[in-house]
Amino acid sequence: MSHRCLSHLEAVARAATVRNLVYALDVDLTTGDELFRSVTTVRFTADPGAETFLEARPERLLGATLNGVELPADAFAEGRLRLADLAADNTVVVTAEYAYTRTSEGVHRFTDPADKQVYVYAQPSITDAPRFMACFDQPDLKAPVTLSVTADPSWLVRANAEGVQATPGRWEFPATKPVATYLITFVAGPYVELTDSHDGIPLGLYARASYAEVLERDAPEIFSLTKAFLDRYHELFGLRYPFGKYDQAFVPEFGWGAMEFPGCVVFRDELLFRAAVTDTERLERAAVIAHEMAHMWFGDLVTMRWWDDLWLNESFATYMGYRLVAEVTPWPQSWTRFGVGRKAWGYVADQRPSTHPIAPTEVADTDAAFANFDGISYAKGCSALRQLVAFIGDEAFLAGLRAHFDKHAWGNATLADLLGALSQASGRDLDAWAQAWLRTPQVNTLRPVIEWAPDGSYASVTVEQTASQEYPTLRPHRIGLGWFGEDGAWQRTEVEVTGASTPVPQLSGVRGRGLLLNDGDFTFAKIRMDERARAELPSLLAEQPDSLARALWWNSAWDAVRDAEWPATELVELAAAALPAEPDVVIVESVFGLARYAATRMVPADRQEAARSALAGAAKTLLATAAPGSGHQLAAARSLIATAADADRAMLRGWLSGADVPAGLRVDAELRWAVLGRLAVLGDVTEEEIDGELQRDTSDRGEQEAVRVRACRPDPAAKERAFDLVVTEQGQSNRIAAAAGDGLWQPEHAELTAPFVARYFAELPRAQGRSGDMLAHLAKAAYPVYAVSEDTLAAAQAALAGEMHPLLRRALVDETDDLARSLRAQRAA
């Protein structure tokens, strides 16, 4: 149903009206496959005579009373229930039927194709709590929630609080501590459970029955990480985990990576590894586990007042996530992954037309809040926090945090509150820092200007800082400078860059090579290298012992290509030469990814085949030398599959039938689908073969992969079907739509898919009951990313001239900006 999004002004007014709020929610999941029923009882005090409204978005409102009196029919409109003439003490009871979704919005209902078992979970997201209850849906109206759930008696139900099955099928959960509506959840179905405990905290892990074996296999690692992170947060924050038990549920088709529901964190179940993975994936999963746990303190215990501080929530949790992985797990290179993975996402987002300050001064409504779920809020904000820690020191940072938690526990706080606590702890005024870093958008470029002495030493080194014309802010950057000294050892000094030009006198007279700005990666800036370093880059990469420094060089090269300062072919050649000898699998995978992007979009069309072939050659070299069963071997195999050409078809066919498989390489379900997808792109897979594979793998992943592989076939009917699935059709799973979009566009199928480019911009995913967030998701999934041309740009501009949902527009603007960059890169080649 249509609804109005909540504005900041409305939220402020409502927070001033509603006091002493308490919810009781009674959910009945036994009323059929399409709809479920809930009764919400809302109690609060107010000034007599005041007026306010609740949000609710049911399919059918069955009844609504205020203080025992039925509300008039016209009180309910646009997803809002108007409450007029309030008493001092108020009780509202709303009984309604709500629709299950397949988009991970509200209550998601999933039938597992592997065994036909049904699973549901509640995802309130920013605006979807009213899809299962009546509530004041804003982060500063926190309240205790008492929950009851009626479900199939064979089901297990988990929620924020520790509950019991009081009678068969009837679950009762006592009142939670005060929580925001976006943090209320329940998970219900024939989930399997594994339990443990640590330091007095009960721990639970959950997955659907068809993942029981996978959960069993991964549980020791997940439990062990969970315990190590709990210990470390207790140490750092000086405040124990505040929500009783700590459950982690891995659920099907979750829309995000995970969500920090207090006491009951929910993860997408792709994070349980049913197939072989590399350390990159294990590291990233660990970072997600630590990220969600950080939110228990920052977000759940102390909650933002309004969505303008969403970034603070996410930046903080991202920072803590990678920090804890570096500190207490077997993957000390987590900042390398951040540097070459997440951070690149931040740079991209910050240079788009849609850029915004990390901390916007105003987020007018919930639509605007959704648009801020981007690389700026997560990655750039995380980098800014690293810079802040470098600026004030870790001790002051942690002391400020502890004071902040103490002061605002169970309540709400703002950026100003946190800055106040950090200023007090560090004795430094942070206003100017916050203004430069948090209140202004866009990224600075740092460039070394080197005068060379005749003997080959540095006569002088200056760090030059520039900003874009539209956003001319220069910022203070506390950075490391690294170089190879005469003895070949890597050296480092630190400097505080301010203004346009910062001399580094300590380097005068030093005989060094490979000068690297931002060594240690404490700041967020585009880093350029000097001409000599660029020329020597292959040997510098080979000699550099520190993976984080190598990541910074790769990022610098990637950035120069995106800015059309370096030809994309140079990056591809560099990657092809360096990756077979790269010791860190995190860099192997990340840089293969960047190089493939360059080879398929930024290299001019007539040279793309050669670029792909260079990458395939590098993958073959790595595959031949990697240790059997290693992450390097798997990364090489995946990269080879993605870039394989006609001549490699026999090899790929062999992998499917078990012939000539490299020793130690597990050709499991995921790898089989990857091979089939590539063979399909190359025109070598029939529908019957896909059906056969689907019989081997009857999981939902199998269903998604089958959709993707069908869409990969160079067949007009297959493309037509894929286009319908992602652009036109309603009601299918969000995963299926994304899979269709993924297969539809292939660099090799430019001619075949040309008609769909114009159709994409003419038709675009339509609303028809879809949320703005889902429209944006589909628009990205279906965007013609390989059709890099003036014509595509013109079609995009024409489409953008029309009316559309702001979140759909944002997605189109961003994708089109990437396309324009690719076009510029092609021209620079």
Which residues are part of the catalytic machinery? Answer: 292
- In angstroms, what CA-CA distances link 742 with 707, 709, 795? 9, 9, 21
* Location of structure tokens 């063979």: 679
Min separation Cβ 57 and Zn ion, Å: 24
Helical pair 381-392 and 310-328, crossing angle rounded to 10 deg: 70
Q: Give dist(CA 300, CA 179) in Å, integer.
A: 7
3-state helix, strand, coil in the chain (%, to 5): 50, 20, 30
**Closer by beta carbon to Zn ion, 360 or else 747:** 360
Pairing status of strand 526-527 against strand 246-251: unpaired
Residues 317-356, one symbol each (x = binds Zn ion by CB under 5 A, - = not), give: x---------------------------------------
Min separation Cβ 1 and Zn ion, Å: 29
**Which stretch in 70-78, 269-277, 306-314, 665-673 sits in contact with Zn ion by CB under 5 A?**
306-314
Structure tokens at 667: 């050709």
Structure tokens at 690: 């896909």
Helical pair 669-681 and 687-696, crossing angle rounded to 10 deg: 170
For residues 146 and 25, the answer to whether their CB atoms sit within 8 Å is: yes
For residues 156 and 190, the answer to whether their CB atoms sit within 8 Å is: yes
**Closer by beta carbon to Zn ion, 142 or else 805:** 142
**Closer by beta carbon to Zn ion, 147 or else 317:** 317
| 665 interacts with Zn ion by CB under 5 A | no
**Closer by beta carbon to Zn ion, 317 or else 642:** 317
Q: Give dist(CA 454, CA 326) in Å, integer.
A: 43
Min separation Cβ 267 and Zn ion, Å: 12
Q: Let me know if 33 is exposed, middle or buried by CB neighbors in 10 A (0-12, 13-18, 19+).
A: exposed
Question: Which residue has the CB atom at the shortest distance from Zn ion?
Answer: 317
For residues 445 and 465, the answer to whether their CB atoms sit within 8 Å is: yes
| 96 interacts with Zn ion by CB under 5 A | no
For residue 452, the surrounding DSSP H or E stretch is strand 445-452
Pairing status of strand 170-173 against strand 201-207: unpaired
Q: Give dist(CA 777, CA 570) in Å, integer.
A: 33
Min separation Cβ 317 and Zn ion, Å: 4
**Which stretch in 19-27, 129-137, 312-320, 465-473 sits in contact with Zn ion by CB under 5 A?**
312-320
Min separation Cβ 366 and Zn ion, Å: 17
Cα 118 off chain centre by: 27
Min separation Cβ 21 and Zn ion, Å: 25
**Of 385, 398, 388, the residue nearest 239 (C-alpha):** 398
Min separation Cβ 268 and Zn ion, Å: 13
Structure tokens at 72: 């008039």
Q: Give dist(CA 92, CA 71) in Å, integer.
A: 10
In 3-state terms, what secondary structure has residue 95? strand
In this structure, what are the phi and psi dihedrals at residue 200, rounded to the nearest 5 degrees? Answer: 80, 0
Min separation Cβ 305 and Zn ion, Å: 17
**Of 280, 773, 125, the residue nearest 288 (C-alpha):** 280
| 293 interacts with Zn ion by CB under 5 A | no
In this structure, what are the phi and psi dihedrals at residue 141, rounded to the nearest 5 degrees? Answer: -105, 75
Min separation Cβ 269 and Zn ion, Å: 18
**Closer by beta carbon to Zn ion, 256 or else 410:** 256
Q: What is the dihedral of CA 535, 539, 545, 551, to 10 degrees?
A: 50
**Closer by beta carbon to Zn ion, 371 or else 527:** 371
Min separation Cβ 256 and Zn ion, Å: 8
| 434 interacts with Zn ion by CB under 5 A | no
**Of 808, 821, 303, 794, the residue nearest 562 (C-alpha):** 821
| 294 interacts with Zn ion by CB under 5 A | no
**Closer by beta carbon to Zn ion, 314 or else 703:** 314
**Of 517, 514, 391, the residue nearest 463 (C-alpha):** 517
**Closer by beta carbon to Zn ion, 56 or else 294:** 294
Q: What is the size of the binding site for Zn ion (CB under 5 A)?
A: 2
Residues that bind Zn ion (CB under 5 A): 314, 317
